[in-house]
Amino acid sequence: MVVLLFLLPGDRSDESRVDDGEVREIFSRRVDDVLEEVEQLRKQNEQLRKLLLENSKSIEQGLQEMEYTLNVQIPTPSRTEQAFEERMDQLRRQERTIQAALENLFFLYKDHVPTISNVSSTQGQISAADKKQNEAVEMFQYLLARTQQLTINDESRKQKLRNLTKMVETRLHNLQHPQECEGRKKLICKLEKSCGFACQIHHVIYCLIVAYATNRTMLLDDKTWRYSDDGWTSVFQPVSSCKISAHEARSAKRWTGKADVTSASVIHIPIVDVLEQQMPYLPQSIPADLASDLISVHSYPPAWWIGQFAQYLMRPSDDLLLHLNAEEKRLVLANWRPLVGVHVRRTDKVPSEAAEHALSEYMTWVDHYFNVQRFNYPQLAYKPVYLATDDGPVIEEAYDKYSTNGYVMMANEKIAASARLDTRYNEKSLYGIITDIHILSKTNYLVCTFSSQVCRLAYELMQARSFEDKGMNFHSLDDIYYYGGQLGRELTVVEAHSAQRPAEIDLKEGDVVKYEANLQNGYSIGRNARTNRRGQFPSFKTIDKWRIVEF
């Protein structure tokens, strides 16, 4: 019998303690509510699908029969289809709300149950309380699997995502490959930001987003790229068919976001960190002309939007494509589904920018994912994991500790070795980091730290490279998703809250909260824009407030 080990956070202050009996009562009540809502959602979904997808007759004939049977006036086919789509959009949003609430409820439960003893499990002496706790965890995992299945089976959602992807791809191609380069307004982006690979890619993405919003062709100045003397095209396809002339380079006007430069034919922008004024279309904004469709089919539209730019920019050169295909073939990647990607960042990130996390912390969430997926894949025999890291000993530890119990651990020791600080900036290391990001982006679920730009980039690419909604297919051990230099993330309050402890803040329905962190215990931290008070609040009482702007 598998017993999950839940760890209570140590050294809680008295004011943050919650009575266990109260927690169990809240937990039981919320699980009942979620069960009922999931069942209603399932029935509604099935009824709608049967109405339009299982009827072999034409819509017109079906409507005539319904009018005769029900003795009511039925809207025209076009209105029926529109009503169906609107209802499906509502159901999708309900579905995502339920899934997010389930995850936060699981965090709450996990944070408050007593620690389950490994000793008792090895001796076969499982207490009644332990059994109940395991049953509760299994219930959570079953419910999460059911909500995920609704997403997986939604073909109309996949088709909408295909259409949106094709639309953005076409727009970016036309922007970057105009019929005439002469006289075309341009934006020069210098690839000189002093940071790692993923950070530099995010810099170029920011440049291309600004170019898109200002209707300029982006030109990349890669003469000083520290990863390759041969520049961008040593690994990726050219960003544009236009070139930077000597005159344009000399006459380019520097723009920091403040002055009006709409009349300037050529501009160049600095790194996002030194902008004098943030533009409204910076991440995590999404374009108004795509927002309605995108919000209806994706659980995290900003990541999907950024992912489209990452996907366009990182189109591989012929040599890189051969290398990536060979690595996929070596790993037999297509055969391992579902596949979890784990990224463990150490070296220069720890402890200066992020706390170190033991491999066991990552694997706890890998276990959780596969325990959920066994309900979606009853014949699941293996638990494949791709491990990417810049620390070789982590790979050794993974092979030593996790090569049993159905795990299939995959990693590339050479990539980890090339990621050392003293060998990081060369062609071998460049191929290695691109390979890791590429494979991580093709997994079904990511476990990582979002303090690392590598994992955030893999997550963004994951959204662009799949026509499924994978916006919630991750677990970050530290930060919530963010984009360096972004406009702040905001939440809308959907249920009022009265503070129960000094650490909490009051919320009114409709309040806007500046979102800072998810504590992964059922609570988040943010600042209420109405009261200007900062503190904790129940995560499930808020939803994301998307920044929708004209591009």
CA distance 171 to 214: 13
The verdict on residue 438 lying in a domain is no
Query: For residue 1, what pLDDT is reported?
Result: 29
In a shared domain, residues 137 and 164:
no
Amino acid symbol at 170: T
In a shared domain, residues 43 and 129:
yes
Q: What is the residue whose two structure tokens read 């076009």?
A: 78
Query: For residue 239, what pLDDT is reported?
Result: 98
Helix, strand, or coil (residue 146): helix
In a shared domain, residues 216 and 240:
yes
Query: For residue 23, what pLDDT is reported?
Result: 52
In a shared domain, residues 135 and 204:
no
Query: For residue 319, what pLDDT is reported?
Result: 97
Distance of CA 308 to the CA centre of its chain: 13
In a shared domain, residues 146 and 164:
no
Query: For residue 146, what pLDDT is reported?
Result: 85
Domain around 98: 14-153
Q: How do 383-389 and 407-410 pair as beta strands?
A: parallel
- CATH number, domain with residue 509: 2.30.30.40
The verdict on residue 260 lying in a domain is yes
Amino acid symbol at 325: N
Query: For residue 279, what pLDDT is reported?
Result: 94
Q: Among residues 153, 170, 186, which one ends one of the domains? A: 153
Query: For residue 14, what pLDDT is reported?
Result: 39
Alpha helices by DSSP H, listed for 243-389, are: 246-251, 288-297, 301-313, 318-331, 359-376
CA distance 140 to 153: 20
Query: For residue 248, what pLDDT is reported?
Result: 86
pLDDT in tens, the chain (551 residues): 233 333 333 333 434 444 555 555 665 566 566 656 666 666 666 666 566 555 544 555 655 565 555 655 545 546 556 666 777 777 777 778 888 888 888 888 888 775 443 333 444 556 777 777 788 888 888 988 888 877 766 788 899 999 999 999 999 999 999 999 998 999 999 998 989 999 999 999 999 999 999 999 999 999 889 899 899 999 999 999 999 888 888 889 999 888 788 889 999 999 999 999 999 999 999 999 999 999 999 999 999 999 999 999 999 999 999 999 999 999 998 899 999 999 998 776 655 566 889 999 999 999 999 999 999 988 898 999 999 999 999 999 999 999 888 999 999 998 887 766 666 677 889 999 999 999 999 999 999 999 999 999 999 999 999 999 999 999 999 999 999 999 999 999 999 999 999 999 999 999 999 999 999 999 999 999 999 999 999 999 999 999 999 99
The verdict on residue 379 lying in a domain is no
The verdict on residue 317 lying in a domain is no
In a shared domain, residues 72 and 195:
no
Query: For residue 74, what pLDDT is reported?
Result: 47
Extended strands (E) in 413-528: 445-448, 474-476, 490-493, 512-518, 523-528
In a shared domain, residues 218 and 182:
yes
In a shared domain, residues 140 and 167:
no
The verdict on residue 418 lying in a domain is no
Q: What is the residue whose two structure tokens read 């009511």?
A: 72
In a shared domain, residues 283 and 163:
yes
For 241-261, give the DSSP string: S----HHHHHHPEE--SSS--
Q: Among residues 99, 118, 153, which one ends one of the domains? A: 153
In a shared domain, residues 112 and 176:
no
| pTM as predicted | 0.85
C-beta contacts of 315-322 below 8 A and 24+ residues apart: 315/236, 315/237, 316/235, 316/236, 316/237, 316/434, 317/233, 317/234, 317/235, 317/236, 317/237, 319/235, 320/235, 320/236, 320/431, 320/434
In a shared domain, residues 136 and 226:
no
CA distance 147 to 372: 11
Query: For residue 481, what pLDDT is reported?
Result: 98
Query: For residue 66, what pLDDT is reported?
Result: 54
Q: Among residues 137, 153, 169, which one ends one of the domains? A: 153
In a shared domain, residues 44 and 79:
yes
**Cβ atoms of 499 and 379 closer than 8 Å:** no
The verdict on residue 423 lying in a domain is no
Token output for 340 = 């979890």
The verdict on residue 7 lying in a domain is no
**Cβ atoms of 360 and 402 closer than 8 Å:** no
The verdict on residue 300 lying in a domain is no
Question: What's the total number of domains in the chain?
Answer: 3
